[in-house]
Structures are given as C-alpha cells and as structure tokens.
C-alpha cells in the first residue's frame, strides 16, 4: 500500500529537487562553458557572444596546443611525477603502516606520535623551502640533477593516509596471519600475501588520494623545479595564464582564436584524464571519506 504524500513532505521534496538541480547546474555549467569557449571562434569569445553552445566552431586552439612541444613535455612530467610519486608514497606508507599496526612493536606509541605530530604542527613554508634548497644541494652532490626526483621523494607522505592504512591493517583478523606464519610465511610474505590483498580497497583509496594530489600539485613544483622543461602541467597552465592575461601579449595576438580559448583548451586537456577515470574511482573516494571520518 502506498502512503499518500503529506503536503509538507511534498513541498520539501519539491524544494529539494529544485535546489539540487540548481546546484548541479552550477557545478556543471562552468565545464560546459569551458568546452564551448575553447572551440568557439575568436569574435564570439571576445565579444561576449557566447552563453552555452559554441559558435563559429574552430579547433585551432587545440591543434596549436597539440603541436606544442612544451605542452606534451609538461604532460609527460606530470605523468612522471604522478606515477613515481604515487608508487613511492604508497610503498612507504604500506610498509610503515604495517609495522605500526603490530601490537608487538616496541615504542609504538612514540612512533605514532612522531607521525601525528606532523599533522598538528608544520614548520611552515619558509623553513620547508630552505630545507628543500639544502636537499637539492645534497641531491646534486650525489649526482641527481633532475629536480623532478627531488619533488617525487621529498613531497607528499601524508600522515593521515598512513593512519588510514594502519587502521585498516589493524582490522585484519590475527588468526589469518597466524595461519600464514604456521605455514612458514616470512614477515614480507605475510604483508604481501595476507594484509595487502585483504585491504585492497583502502589501498586503492589511499593511492587515489596520493595520485590526485600529485596530479594537481602546483606550488612546490613551481618553487623547486627551476628548469622550464621539467615543469608539470599545472605549472605550465599557470605560466601560460599569466602570459595570456598580460595586456602586451593580448595586444599582439593575431590568431584565429581568442586568448581565452587557448586557456580553456588547456584546462580541458588537464581535466580530461581525471574525467575519464572518474566514474571508476568515484566509489573509492566515497569509501575513503567515510573511513577517514569518525568511528565511534
């Protein structure tokens, strides 16, 4: 039997749907506008002739960008930083979290505090910057000339994610581990054959957190990487944006598309990979948020 909706319920439902739709449109509209503006003609973009759909369609902004070496270079750098950075962070986090999850570890409380303290207090931007400069000198002295490796190794490692992993490892029943040990598994085998497979989803979540923050990383990459050929995509986009909004550059602009279209085209190219994998990773993010929330 279906219950008749009461009037207050009906009103609330209507309000909910309306406001949600408005909010969803607000979330989506900038993206649609970006896509339209990136492929509209110069006149339409420069003279505010564009609301939703593209006008005088052209793909010069894209084709010129795809022909630019710097663009692909920065793309490759971002992939490099994301790939190696995530592997480095996840690997170290899994090892550390596994050790921390063991009750028999001595000074466990001390090690935990060592991690958690970095969440409470950070030295700040300037001391960190000076520290990275020192690191760079050491790296150069031992022959690592690429600043990229410095960014891969020195950045990241969030204590929060290690704690997420540790909590998940603590939830693995100790009987399974004991069974593996009876069968003659070493410490490393217990980790790779028992713990990692049993915490797959949280490891996926943590990798995604690390990966996204690497992909999106900007400030330290810009500070630390001095060579323009090693800049990741985000730094490249920002530098181009600073160029294109410069009045002198805009005055001398003689392309078939507007400066805005060039910026929008770059924005699209940087979010396409995330949009492509987004439907597959979305559930892991929801999981991660709930795991990172509070357990009573």
Partner 1 sequence: MQAVCSDYLIFDEENGVYVENPEQVVRDDVEKHHWLNVFRAVVKDWRLYLMLVPMILVFLFWRYFPMYELLGCFKVTDVVKPVSDQFYSGFSYFNTLIFGEGNPGISADFWRAFRNTFLLSFYGLCFGFPMPIIIALFFNEVRSNVMRSIYQVITYLPKFMSTVVMTSLVMMLVKQGSTTSGMGILSQFLVAIGAVDQQTAFGGLLNDPTFFRGIYQISGIWETAGYDSIVFFAAIIAIAPTRYEAAQIDGAGKMAQMRYVVLPSILSTIIIMLITKIGTLLNIGYEKVLLLYNPKTYMTADVVSTFSQRNGIAGTMQGMASAAEMMNNVIGMLLVIGANTIARKASNTSLY
Site for partner 1 in 87-146 (CB under 8 A): 92-93, 95-96, 98-100, 102-109, 111-112, 114-116, 118-132, 134-135
Q: Binding segment for partner 1 among 55-63, 69-77, 192-200, 274-282 (CB under 8 A)? A: 274-282
Q: Binding segment for partner 1 among 11-19, 55-63, 64-72, 79-87 (CB under 8 A)? A: 11-19
* In the complex, minimum distance from the CB of residue 64 to partner 1, in angstroms, rounded to a whole number: 18
Choosing from 180, 241, 243, 253, the residue that interacts with partner 1 (CB under 8 A) is: 241
Does the footprint of partner 1 cover residue 9 (CB under 8 A)?
Answer: yes
Tell me whether residue 187 or residue 227 sits nearer to partner 1 (CB atom).
Answer: 187
> Could you tell me if 166 and 101 are in contact, meaning their C-beta atoms sit under 8 angstroms apart?
yes
Return the exposure string of 137-151: e unless at least 16 CB atoms fall within 10 Å of the residue's CB, then b.
Answer: eebeeeeeeebbbbb
- Rounded Cα distance between 164 and 174, Å, is 18
Angle at the Cα of 176 from the Cα atoms of 293 and 284, rounded to 5 degrees: 30
Choosing from 48, 67, 69, 254, the residue that interacts with partner 1 (CB under 8 A) is: 48
Q: Binding segment for partner 1 among 53-61, 66-74, 199-207, 215-223 (CB under 8 A)? A: 215-223
* In the complex, minimum distance from the CB of residue 80 to partner 1, in angstroms, rounded to a whole number: 17
Choosing from 8, 67, 69, 254, the residue that interacts with partner 1 (CB under 8 A) is: 8
Region label for 107, one of left (φ > 0), alpha (ψ between -120 and 50) or beta (otherwise): left
Q: How many residues bind partner 1 (CB under 8 A)?
A: 106
Q: Binding segment for partner 1 among 66-74, 139-147, 197-205, 287-295 (CB under 8 A)? A: 287-295
Ranges within 148-207 binding partner 1 (CB under 8 A): 153-155, 157, 159, 162-163, 167, 170, 186-188, 191
Choosing from 40, 41, 267, 284, the residue that interacts with partner 1 (CB under 8 A) is: 267
> Could you tell me if 205 and 228 are in contact, meaning their C-beta atoms sit under 8 angstroms apart?
no
Q: Binding segment for partner 1 among 4-12, 63-71, 79-87, 196-204 (CB under 8 A)? A: 4-12
Q: How is residue 64 written in tokens? A: 């010129």
> Could you tell me if 201 and 122 are in contact, meaning their C-beta atoms sit under 8 angstroms apart?
no
Q: Which of 47, 172, 225 is nearest to 234 (CA)?
A: 225
Instruction: Return the C-alpha torsion angle 31, 35, 38, 39, nearest 10.
Output: -160
CA-based end-to-end distance of the chain: 37
């Amino acid at each position: 039997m279906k219950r008749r909706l009461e009037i207050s319920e009906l009103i609330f439902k209507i309000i909910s749907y309306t406001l949600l739709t408005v909010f969803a449109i607000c979330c989506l509209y900038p993206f649609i506008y970006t896509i339209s503006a990136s492929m509209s003609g110069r006149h339409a973009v420069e003279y505010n002739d564009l609301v939703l759909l593209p006008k005088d369609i052209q793909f010069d902004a894209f084709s010129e960008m795809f022909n630019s070496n710097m663009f692909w270079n920065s793309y490759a750098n971002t992939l490099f930083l994301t790939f190696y950075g995530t592997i480095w962070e996840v690997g170290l986090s899994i090892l550390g979290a596994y050790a921390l999850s063991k009750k028999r570890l001595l000074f466990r409380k001390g090690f935990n505090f060592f991690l958690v303290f970095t969440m409470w207090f950070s030295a700040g931007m300037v001391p960190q910057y000076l520290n990275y400069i020192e690191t760079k000198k050491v790296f150069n002295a031992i022959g690592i000339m690429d600043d990229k490796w410095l960014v891969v190794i020195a950045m990241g490692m969030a204590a929060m994610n290690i704690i997420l992993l540790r909590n998940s490892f603590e939830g693995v029943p100790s009987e399974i581990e004991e069974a593996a040990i009876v069968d003659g598994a070493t410490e490393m085998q217990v980790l790779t054959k028992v713990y990692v497979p049993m915490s797959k989803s949280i490891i996926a979540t943590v990798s995604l957190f690390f990966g996204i923050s690497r992909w999106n990383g900007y400030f330290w990459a810009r500070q630390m990487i001095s060579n323009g050929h090693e800049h990741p995509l985000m730094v490249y986009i920002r530098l181009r944006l600073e160029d294109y909004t410069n009045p002198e550059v805009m005055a001398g602009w003689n392309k078939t598309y507007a400066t805005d279209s060039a910026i929008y085209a770059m924005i699209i190219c940087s979010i396409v990979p995330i949009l492509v994998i987004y439907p597959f990773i979305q559930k892991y993010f929801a999981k991660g948020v709930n795991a990172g929330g509070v357990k009573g």
